A = this chain, B = another copy of it.
Amino acid sequence: MYAVGVDIGGMSIKVGIVSDKGKIIAENRVKTAKTAEQCIKNMVEQINSLFKENNLTINEISGIGIGCPGAVTSQTGVVDFLPNLGWENVPLADELRKSFNTTIKISNDANVAALGEAIYGAAKNYNTSIMFTLGTGVGGGMIIDKKLFEGGFSRGAELGHITLFLDGEPCTCGRRGCIECYTSATALIKQTKNAMLKNKASTMWEFVDGDIDKVDGRTAFECSKTGDKTAIEVVDTYVYYLSESVLNMLNIFRPDAFILGGGISAQGNYLTDKIKAYCEKFDYGYKRAPRTEIICATLGNAAGIIGAAALVNN
């Protein structure tokens, strides 16, 4: 059967028809509207137009799954709070049920990404997997025995909000020193810029055409590969932060696989080889327990739609 996956983002809402093998067979997107009401209206239109274009009826899909960038109560299908979209207490599942007589499930976007990787992506051969999505912030997803575990009240899995430095950098969550403040793409960019400002001879300046505003999550990684010492230092420090964050998760979950997602995971083995080397040295369980595989996500930008569809497609 097919399923509909909806990926709600700050810029656009993506809707796709996904096969039970996890392939997107059709997809469209619409700019994120200013109100929840208009967004829902657009979603209904987009889903209906995908049905029409693909000669599908509601009876031929297993349901509609939706990933939301914020706090949701998955049990009731209510979006509690999407800070970037200004949504508060929106009964999303109920609203969509007015148009579609099918199973409708919602979850947090990082949970959905982890589920997508577990069912169709990097973690498909593993029963238990934990995922970090390294983006603007750091999201987390926990898959235990192939099932999404959202934590109590579907409000756990905030894996970016674990301390790395007590009383460290201020975090958006109100605490200080969270993993997110050191391992997000935002944090890496800040670390890269700081290093560049201290080292005007670094080749990272050439890489960004002398314009520090062009620094992104790739800058330090790419320049480290060509031997730039400043870039190597930035990467080494970032890997240290990230490895220690991963070790925390290994000590809690000892999963079969640990998945790194988000833009930074495009570094692939260049990143995971370094993390593995660090973890082998300091992992509490390595000497006497089977190893956790540390791998990068494989679904890329499609993770949102495919993962959302996986909420109703397995």
Give residues in A with beta carbon < 8 Å to B.
71, 80-81, 127-128, 140, 142, 144, 149, 151-153, 155-159, 161-166, 173-175, 241, 244-245, 247-248, 250-256, 282, 284-285, 288-290, 292
Contacts and interface: CB of A to CB of B under 8 A. Distances in A.
B158 A252 contact: yes
B289 A71 contact: yes
Contacts of A81: 288
Nearest to A162: B248
A166 to B, nearest CB: 5
A220 to B, nearest CB: 19
B153 A282 contact: no
A156 B71 contact: no
A163 B254 contact: no
Nearest to A283: B174
B288 A166 contact: no
A255 B161 contact: no
Across the A-B interface, give the 6 residue pairs with the lowest CB-CB distance, nearest first.
A156-B254, A158-B251, A152-B254, A151-B254, A155-B289, A155-B254
Contacts of A284: 158, 161, 173-175
Contact of A156 (B140, B241, B244, B251): B251
B252 A156 contact: yes
Contacts of A253: 151-152, 156
A290 B250 CA distance: 28
B166 A241 contact: yes
9 contacts: A151-B253, A153-B289, A156-B252, A161-B251, A161-B284, A162-B162, A163-B163, A163-B164, A175-B284
A118 to B, nearest CB: 14
A276 to B, nearest CB: 16
Contacts of A165: 165-166
A282 B175 contact: yes
A277 B108 CA distance: 28
Given A151-B255, A175-B244, A175-B247, 5 more contacts: A71-B288, A159-B252, A166-B244, A174-B282, A175-B282
A111 to B, nearest CB: 13
A164 B166 contact: yes
A137 to B, nearest CB: 12
B244 A290 contact: no
B289 A162 contact: no
Nearest to A179: B163
Contacts of A151: 252-255
Contacts of A156: 250-255
A252 B144 contact: no
A74 B265 CA distance: 34
Contacts of A152: 127-128, 253-256, 290, 292
Contacts of A80: 288-289
Contacts of A162: 162-163, 248, 251-252
A75 to B, nearest CB: 12
